[in-house]
Chains A and B, each alone.
Chain A
Amino acid sequence: MADTKKKAGNPIIKKLLGSNLTWSVVALLVLIVICTVFSDGFLSLRWNDNTGGLAGPLITVLQESARYLMIATGMTLVISTAGIDLSVGSVMAVSGAAAMQLLVSGVNVWAAILLSLLIGLAIGCFNGMLVSVLGLQPFITTLIMMLAGRGLAKVITSGENTDAGSVAGNGPLKWMANGFILGIPANFIIALVIVAIVALICRKTAMGMMIESVGINPEASRMTGIKPRKILFLVYAISGLLAAVAGLFATASVMRVDISKTGQDLEMYAILAVVIGGTSLLGGKFSLAGSALGAVIIAMIRKTIITLGIDSAATPAFFAIVVIVICVMQAPKIHNLGAEIKRKRALKEQAKAVAA
């Protein structure tokens, strides 16, 4: 309240300053600047004739961010309904494991892609059913799936880290992860197109509003004729499907699934991307553009850590600190700090005046 006077000047600047997107862009630029300072060639781009695309540190950031874009988009919708999907990392492992195992056992690459996506969708639907029909708490439901999913991935590959690198005809899948479209990483473009489609569906139909409505007040939503169960089911199903896409991106880049490492910790990255994007963990209003930017920032943070030469083992601790800092900054206590100090001072002065 105290600083409204100072900012009152220009409404556009005020709006920009108040927007999460602005700050995300600023954070992204700051990270790029840091990296450029520490590593001379960070901004360099060159054409690689072998791959038929651009190459350079920024390009690898885009390549890596594709998988985060997918899980962050699904997570945004889930969190908007006041839920959470902790199983995205495990779903990635499952779909990746399925794709690799299918390829190795001689299944056509397109069929393998389709089947592994269907498996992800099925897990998402299972989550959705438990949450919507049985009314279980999202975090416990998806925590169970996080555990069981990892087991499922191991069962699919019989505990092996299946490698499909030498399987003939894996070209399309390889291209999906490592190829280029007009010089830009294919997976990034595919991911952006998927995000755009989801965003378009949300905002051009009433789906976005209904998801938000269920997140804000499920009972009132039901009374308006919305079917909250349908909506809940839908968001978990979408999250499962998108996590499966992310699993394909993650495994196809090396054509190998690591059943314990593929997708590990990525639920945290997804949550982080959503939080950076400005969607409240308590549900309600969501911003897919914000989450997408958040996903790119996460890839950039990881790149920064590597560029600065920090041990990659520190990554989870570092992300944990970022989440904590962001949540602390969003806390009402911090927001009200100014007003609270002012209140205390006023009361003190009043007491003084009474005493005098």
Chain B
Amino acid sequence: MTDKQPIVVMKGITIEFPGVKALDGVDLRLFPGEVHALMGENGAGKSTMIKALTGVYKINAGTIVVDGKPQQFNGTLDAQNAGIATVYQEVNLCTNLTVGENVMLGHEVRGPLGINWKKTHEAAKQYLAQMGLENIDPRTPLSSISIAMQQLVAIARAMVIDAKVLILDEPTSSLDANEVQDLYKIMRKVRDSGVAILFVSHFLDQIYEICDRMTILRNGRFIKEVMVKDTPRNELIGMMIGKSAEELSQIGAKKARRAVDAGEKPIVSIKQLGKKGTINPVDLDIYGGEVVGFAGLLGSGRTELGRLLYGADKPDAGGSYELKGKTVSISDPYTALKNKIAYSTENRRDEGIIGDLTVRQNMLIALQATRGMLKPIPKKEADEIVAKYMKELNVQPPDPDRPIKNLSGGNQQKVLIGRWLATHPDLLILDEPTRGIDIGAKAEIQQVVLDLAEQGMGVVFISSELEEVVRLSDNIEVLKDRHKIAEIENGDTVSQQTIVDTISNTTISTGKEA
């Protein structure tokens, strides 16, 4: 094992963007028959490194050697011809075509009369079978199979081009536990056939379960290449963030639910509010000063319930929505904001920031929208609001006139939270506020959540990290398969395990499917 030759050797890779060095002399070696993890915080340069290897970005310095041959990639096609295949987080297939067409695109079996569709579909079926998808007809439209299966289809495609290197960029972020296991099965199979796999994931458990070797990056620099089995987790985390594990400040221990006074009215009380195909009707009370956590896997309906509370999606008729005892109809974000409800999206890039506008404009825009287009916020008031939240949320760099797109993910998130706080909401719904941001900003945002509740605001906290939900919430709503299955009052006896058990032990009567 020790004298194995690497199939890919990247040395001294440097990539510059106007004004930034995204990568600075990074090395990476990939070995056949191994799963290699690329580790680092957001902004460490993982995705840039992958894009260098797949030919999406051109390198400014350094060498890439694949299978002994030096390579200069000028596009994805070059990288693919060198035997490098990639499966991205947002599956890069064509949903308008069939499964078989996607597998074989660019490699269709040709006869004297052009493409031989019969043979092409047969070949596709074989490759799909290798991925354990023998039940799928290659003529099925791609849009009708799940994301998990689409990912396997993308891997099947890699087999078609006979890839020597398979890059999996956060493939698990939208999969449930079973789907992840299926993916591992395929990954092991592919690995054992001698392919080198480069794996990127935010979940440490997954790295320790499937990976053999890892390379750690920090701030665009190479830190170390280590074997996974020789590296304890705290040491890994230390390398990733440049601090020792003990230094990681932890926010308070588990907390008990804030006592609700007798006769206290909830801020929001919904009864049988739901939307067909998204979330089954739910009853829920949210009181001022408490943090309500929504826990559940992706697709459980946690985001969908949040969006419903905000009016981002229109609820079906039949439910009721009471705001401080008054019945309201929240049919769009405007109405929600008018009624002092704010929602911070999980999809920061597509639904959150308005990239070319400045930090200042991004912070004020929701408040402005509630006041109406023709009543601009007076300059003095605007200045105060911006200054206040820039300071309170510690936005870096502290320059409000910079376009928000030039800020790091964590700081963009802080600006967005500032945007919602500027509307002075009674209820703030935070959907994955800590996803994809570095650990420092994460702790700051968690503290903000606790402070807000302390000040009497009702906060809904949605996160895929159960640990975070348990740590911050007074009350936890557990969701599964678009149903609310339990409401757990936080306390000493509640742990992540409690929630996991609740989810796995609850079966949903399928009589009424959303």
Contact = CB atoms under 8 A, between A and B. Distances in A.
Nearest to B370: A225
Given A223-B333, A224-B333, A347-B72, A217 B353 contact: yes
Contact of A225 (B62, B354, B369): B369
Interface stretch (B1-9, B44-52, B314-322, B360-368): B360-368
Given A205-B375, A205-B376, A347-B72, A224 B369 contact: yes
A206 B61 contact: no
B352 A220 contact: yes
A209 B361 contact: yes
B18 A1 contact: yes
Interface string A222-241: 11111100000000000000
Interface in B342-398: 343, 345, 350-357, 361, 365-366, 368-370, 373-377
A123 B345 CA distance: 37
A265 interface: no
A223 B357 contact: no
Interface of A: 1, 204-207, 209-210, 212-213, 216-217, 219-227, 284-285, 339-340, 343, 346-347, 350, 354
A223 B362 CA distance: 12
B257 interface: no
Contacts of B337: 224-225
Contacts of A209: 357, 361, 365, 368
A343 B368 contact: no
Contacts of B18: 1, 339
B63 A212 contact: no
Given A205-B373, A212-B356, A220-B352, 18 more contacts: A1-B18, A206-B373, A207-B374, A210-B368, A210-B369, A212-B357, A216-B355, A217-B354, A220-B345, A220-B350, A221-B365, A224-B354, A224-B365, A225-B334, A339-B16, A339-B18, A346-B60, A347-B60
B188 interface: no
Describe A's contact surface by its main secondary structure.
helix
Contacts of B343: 223
Contact of B368 (A204, A206, A220, A340): A206
B381 to A, nearest CB: 13
A206 B375 CA distance: 7
A285 B361 CA distance: 12
Given A209-B365, A285-B356, A347 B334 contact: no
Contacts of B361: 209, 213
A354 B354 contact: no
Contacts of B369: 206, 210, 224-226
Nearest to A340: B58
A216 B357 contact: yes
Nearest to B334: A225
Nearest to B374: A205
A207 B350 contact: no
Nearest to A280: B356
Nearest to A350: B61
**Chain A CB within 10 A, most for which of B16, B368, B375:** B368
B334 A213 contact: no
Contacts of A350: 61-63
A278 B353 CA distance: 23
Nearest to B18: A1
B402 to A, nearest CB: 14
Interface in B182-203: none
B333 A220 contact: no
**Chain A CB within 10 A, most for which of B361, B365, B370:** B365
Contacts of A212: 356-357
Contacts of A219: 350-351
A262 B114 CA distance: 51
A346 B15 CA distance: 12
A220 B419 contact: no
Contacts of A223: 312, 333, 343, 345, 351-352
A226 B351 CA distance: 12
Contacts of B352: 220, 223
Given A212-B356, A217-B350, A343-B58, A224 B373 contact: no
Nearest to A284: B356
Contacts of A226: 334, 365, 369
A354 B63 CA distance: 10
A1 B375 CA distance: 42
Nearest to A215: B356
A222 B375 contact: no
A65 B343 CA distance: 47
17 contacts: A209-B368, A210-B365, A210-B369, A213-B365, A219-B351, A220-B351, A220-B352, A220-B354, A223-B352, A224-B354, A224-B366, A225-B366, A284-B356, A340-B58, A347-B60, A347-B61, A350-B62
**Chain B CB within 10 A, most for which of A213, A220, A222, A346:** A220
A284 B354 CA distance: 10
Nearest to B420: A224
A354 B61 CA distance: 12
B333 A204 contact: no
A265 to B, nearest CB: 31
Contact of A204 (B61, B356, B376): B376
A220 B353 CA distance: 6
Nearest to A221: B354
A354 B375 CA distance: 65
Nearest to A225: B369
A32 B503 CA distance: 76
A318 B202 CA distance: 55
Contacts of A221: 354, 365
Contacts of B374: 205-207
Contacts of B366: 224-225
A126 to B, nearest CB: 22
A-B pairs with the 5 shortest C-beta distances?
A: A225-B369, A224-B366, A225-B334, A225-B337, A206-B368
A125 to B, nearest CB: 18
Nearest to B19: A1
A245 to B, nearest CB: 22
Contact of A224 (B16, B60, B72, B419): B419
Interface in B124-167: none
A219 B16 CA distance: 31
Contacts of B351: 217, 219-220, 223
Nearest to B58: A343
A347 B375 CA distance: 56
Contacts of A222: 312, 332-333
A219 B347 CA distance: 11
A117 B148 CA distance: 56
Contacts of A213: 354, 357, 361, 365
Nearest to A354: B63
Contacts of A347: 59-61, 72
A316 to B, nearest CB: 33
Contacts of B60: 343, 346-347
Contacts of A346: 60-61
Contacts of B62: 350
A285 B350 CA distance: 18
Nearest to B350: A219
Contacts of A216: 354-357
Contacts of B312: 222-223
A306 to B, nearest CB: 39
